[in-house]
Amino acid sequence: MIDVSQHLGALVREVSSREVDGRPARVVTATRTYDTDVEDLWDALTSAERIPRWFLPISGELKLGGRYQLQGQAGGEIQRCEPPRLLGVTWENGGDVSWVTVRLEAEGEARTQLTLEHVAHVKPEFWDQYGPGAVGVGWELLFVGMALHLRTGEQVDSNAFEAWTLSEDGKRFIRGSSQGWGDAALRDGADRAWAQAAVARTSAFYTGEPSPDA
């Protein structure tokens, strides 16, 4: 069972801007606390055996300076690795390069805060259409997968999870996540009409429903 409201409420969403290599970039930051200790969460994030239990099979040299490849997804270079607190990688997909940094912070003995920051150079044709939700919703779905894995330590049934995303509950989660990222964009100063249009397009993309522009 996946409690949609609980998972939506567990995430803190933030959108900001910065300059990277002399070019404007957008920053999507997601923060969530898990009921496990720092060492266990670090292992789930970095172990080649455990990553496929909540994400995808991974190959490569999983150490500082090495390269990784997620099956059918992004690959990149491991640029920062400070166990069990900090991981920084390039995120290379479809010819584009962005940067993902994950920080862990203990909250007592058995709770850990995970903060994921995804930085990408601005592509106006993409950002103008979808805003931060295009990236944010994807990460948020993975955060749910992580929670399911940590609950039991077992492999998340990818077929069942995909079926859930297509269910009414799953679509409610996606719409709620997309709206949450639209609200984060508003807090960053975005135009309200643009933000709501981007929320609608992102929701349609992830749910497979008709786009409002169709």
pLDDT digits (tens, 9 = 90+) for 40-83: 999 999 999 999 999 999 999 999 999 999 999 999 999 999 99
Helical residues (DSSP H) of the chain, grouped into ranges: 4-10, 38-46, 51-54, 124-130, 133-152, 158-166, 168-187, 192-207
Lowest-pLDDT range of 83-92, 176-185, 204-213: 204-213
The answer to whether residues 26 and 127 touch, using CB atoms and an 8 Å cutoff, is yes
CB atoms within 10 A of CB 143: 20
Confidence of residue 214 (pLDDT cuts 50, 70, 90): low
pLDDT digits (tens, 9 = 90+) for 76-126: 999 999 999 999 999 999 899 999 999 999 998 899 999 999 999 988 989
Q: In the chain, what are the domain boundaries?
A: 4-47+93-206
Domain 4-47+93-206, second-level architecture: 2-Layer Sandwich (3.30)
